[in-house]
Amino acid sequence: MTRAGAEPTGFASPNFGPRRGGLAPDLIVLHYTAMPTCAEARDRLCDPATEVSAHWLISEAGRAEQLVDEAMRAWHAGAGAWGAASDVNSRSVGIELANTGDAPFPEPQMAALEGLLGQIMSRWQIPPERIIAHSDMAPGRKRDPGPRFDWRRLALGGLAVWPGAGGDGNAPLTRSLNAFGYPVAPDEVLLQAFRLRFRPWAVGGEDAVDRALAHDLARRFPVDARGARA
């Protein structure tokens, strides 16, 4: 990895720029490629005409390929926010998982992701609560990595967070989700994004379980306690 601000060499994608304002990564954003094959996804992420990229691409077989230097700003997140971070591209490392969006994530791919996450978290001192979905920071606009991604597995390995018991089932859901990091959005959009990650099997309107789980996340991982920079 090159030093911040240096031109990287040996990486496949030309779609990157300097991180703005001297920022370093303090988030990791997970995506799925939503393309038929990993090769097609790689071609798109490396095509200058698309103006999209990610730092890492992991195939279904577990091959992790670095496309952009982590010190640089890849173009993977787009519009959205997480807590105080509005320019998420300047604050994050983006990981693309080769997946059509409606398929399970194979064991070799998940194992490779776990290994890579541990390395990136150590390299940039990123805590588990700062590992988020693309759908978390862009609710209503994005769905990846989708309802079939195993967030609880990552949390059990210390590579993400998962809500526990003890939350208040009467706490306002939107207030809790904003306190955890979700951006301002209509209530129903935030509910959908929250459930997509933490309760993908749930149906119907907001309930006490949603409120209790969201409140637990907010009280244990409040965004203002993480040193988020504007």
Q: What residue segments make up the domains of the chain, in order of their start?
A: 14-161, 163-222
Distance CA 53, CA 44 (A): 8
Adjacent-strand bridge partners of 95: 30, 56
Residues in the chain: 230
- Both tokens of 2, joined, read 């090159």
Note the pTM of the prediction, 2 decimals: 0.93
Contact 71, 55 (CB under 8 A): no
Q: Calculate helix-pair angle for 187-198, 208-220, nearest 10 degrees.
A: 80
pLDDT of 95-118, one tens digit each?
999 999 999 999 999 999 999 999
**Catalytic pick among 7, 60, 70, 96:** 96
The pLDDT value given to residue 229: 41
The pLDDT value given to residue 10: 55
The pLDDT value given to residue 11: 77
Distance CA 156, CA 43 (A): 34
- 228 C-beta neighbours (distance < 10 Å), count: 16
Q: Does domain 14-161 have CATH number 3.40.80.10?
A: yes
Contact 95, 88 (CB under 8 A): no
> Is residue 96 annotated as part of the catalytic site, yes or no?
yes
For 94-116, give one letter per residue: b (16+ CB within 10 A) or e.
bbbbbbeeeeebbeebbebbeeb
Spans of the chain, pLDDT less than 50: 1-9, 227-230
Distance CA 91, CA 207 (A): 33
φ/ψ of 64, rounded to 5, equals -100, 120
Distance CA 95, CA 138 (A): 16
